[in-house]
Amino acid sequence: MEYISNTSDTLTVKIENLTDSTWQSGNMRDYSLEAERDGEWYSVTQIGEFANTMELMLFAPGNELTHTFKFKDRYGKLPAGKYRVVKSFWANATETVEAGEFHLVCEFTVE
């Protein structure tokens, strides 16, 4: 996951599948947000109730996606600090890729 830009309540990234395996994941609202404190990463607490439908996203080899994660409704306005978005995927086995879950991470700073 490649950083493009951010504000205090958004993060825009590029995700590109450079493997020969099709990746699977939940929709783009299926992610976690973490904050760094004293060199350790902690989950950011969501505000209020959050519901997410579980559509399956297939990400074919060579596909590229630019996406903006929006935090305000789910986490409120983020205070200054270092954060990261974690998005989980599942890779299908190929001759060069072992099947299994993996995580793409993008760190960013809110000033």
What is the C-alpha separation between 77 and 3, in angstroms, rounded? 20
pLDDT over 80 at 28, yes or no: no
pTM for the model = 0.87
Which tokens in the block code for residue 20? 């020969």
Residue 49's pLDDT band, with cuts at 50, 70 and 90, is confident
Pairing label, strands 32-37, 81-91: antiparallel
Name the DSSP class of 74: H
Q: pLDDT for 51-68, tens place per residue?
A: 677 788 888 999 999 999
